[in-house]
Amino acid sequence: MPVFILMLSCAAIASAQSIKSEVVLHTKALSLEEQRYLDGFDTEVARIIDEFHWSESKYQYELPVHIEIFFEEYMLIGSYHKYSAGVLAAMRQGVQLRDNRWDFKLNRELGLYIGEQYDTFTGMLEYFIWICLGFEADRLSVHGGTEYFEKARLLTEQARFESRYYNGWDERRELVEALIIKKTYKNIRKASFYVKAGFHYIDKGDTENARNYLREGVRLAMNGSPKMLVVNNNDSIFRFIDRERLSIVLKDIEEYDLLDRLAGWDTEYVNLYEY
């Protein structure tokens, strides 16, 4: 179908992102001395993230990512401060990543880096950002996020060599491998592209193209379980398809057949599809 080819070629041009991060530290569980040690660390983390070159393409736009770090425990090991913490990373729409099993070490005199040898602190943030980038790239082309998910997977392999700080990395590897390999995830990722492309054309006032994309997106989504529209994985949420907006758009363009099919398939939310 030519309309799909057109959308994919346009999306490929715009598939590069730079990160604009907002970093918030929660340090109240730490001693006052340790809180002072972390003064200004939020600004340092945001600067390192924002300055890193996340994509090779010359076409750039900023992708906002909100990050919160919840410091819980610490101890001194030689010249390092060892922490246990929780972390949240989220985009404005679509994905919210959480993890409460994070152990890492810091020595602020050594500074931070991304993209070189694996680091127990920045490695976790990098893992989450690659997943956010992958989720965004899937919006722009079919399975366009795979290359970013692969980068996240590579970090889970590098983490194996930090046995003292390995807590949680088995589960992180399972998550990103599921995004890359499992048919259920590959199907909903593809469906989400078509639905989001349909929303794009609706916003442009192009109802004909919107119908084509939305019909294909619904067809693909219904190849799997309605539970895949919004996936909760260990407190991380992936909103692959916004069923609320989908129902509203389908009503606006009078796609009543699609609404009936969705009502019979996504029965837990049958009221959404009433018209």
Q: What's the rounded Cα separation, in Å, for the pair 166 and 219?
A: 41
pLDDT in tens, 22-78: 999 999 999 999 999 999 999 999 999 999 988 775 446 789 999 999 999 999 999
pLDDT in tens, 174-222: 999 999 999 999 999 999 999 999 999 999 999 999 999 999 999 999 9
Q: What's the rounded Cα separation, in Å, for the pair 107 and 111?
A: 7
Q: What's the rounded Cα separation, in Å, for the pair 108 and 80?
A: 9
Q: What is the pTM of this model?
A: 0.91
Exposed/middle/buried for 250, CB within 10 Å: 0-12, 13-18, 19+? buried
What long-range pairs does 138-143 form, CB within 8 A, spacing at least 24?
138/189, 138/192, 138/193, 139/94, 139/192, 139/193, 139/196, 140/11, 140/12, 140/14, 140/15, 140/193, 141/8, 141/11, 141/12, 141/15, 141/193, 142/8, 142/190, 142/193, 143/186, 143/189, 143/190, 143/193
